[in-house]
Structure 1
Amino acid sequence: MQSENRFFDDFAKMMNGLAGTVAGAGREAEAQMREKAKGFFGGMDFVSREEFDAVKAMAAAARDEADLLKARLDALEAKLSTTKAGKA
């Protein structure tokens, strides 16, 4: 009975060691992939989130101003057409 328990104990220790080795290899592979991704994306010219948000805000402000100018132009055109219709 003692030999069976020893066999299972040794087997459990071996499997525990194997699981630790596999987990370590997985962590190492993940770290290497991160480094490769950093190297790949680091060479590209991306904008920061702050720059993106600033440009987005400027575009929204420009759209708002364009809408206001269009409304003013429409009002002036309507006034002009009313004036021309009154003179004719």
Structure 2
Amino acid sequence: MQNKSEFGGDFAKFINGLAGTVACMSREAGESARERTREWIAGLDFVSREEFDAVKEMAAKAREEADSLKARVAALESALATKGAGEAE
């Protein structure tokens, strides 16, 4: 029969082993969850920051060009209206 000190020592070893196993399982579960999350996000149709910035820059240039064309059309319409008013007199 084991005495109380041997039982306590064996119990402490058991608890330490159990704690190590639980810590390892927890770490593996976290790594697995992170990997699944990475795979899930990779499967989504996200654009990279570089692609986003390139499209944003192209849109800004297109807006500037559209504004410039609007100003030119307005100037041409104004000139045409002035010319038409001068001929009507």
Q: TM-score range by the shorter chain?
A: 0.5 to 0.7
Q: Which residue of 2 aligns with 1:6?
A: none
- 1:21 Cα shift? 7.1
Question: 1:54-65 alignment to 2 at 5 Å?
Answer: 54-65=54-65
Q: Which residue of 1 aligns with 2:31?
A: 31
Larger-Rg structure: 2
Aligned-pair identity (%) = 58
Deviation by residue 1:24-82 (Cα, 9 ceiling, x = unmatched): 65544332221111111122232211011001100100100010010010011011001
Secondary structure of the residue aligned to 1:37 is helix
Long gaps (5+) in structure 1: 1-13
Matched AA of 1:54: A
Q: Which residue of 1 aligns with 2:79?
A: 79
Matched AA of 2:36: K
Q: TM-score, normalised by structure 1?
A: 0.66
Long gaps (5+) in structure 2: 1-14
CA RMSD of aligned residues (A): 2.6
Aligned length: 76
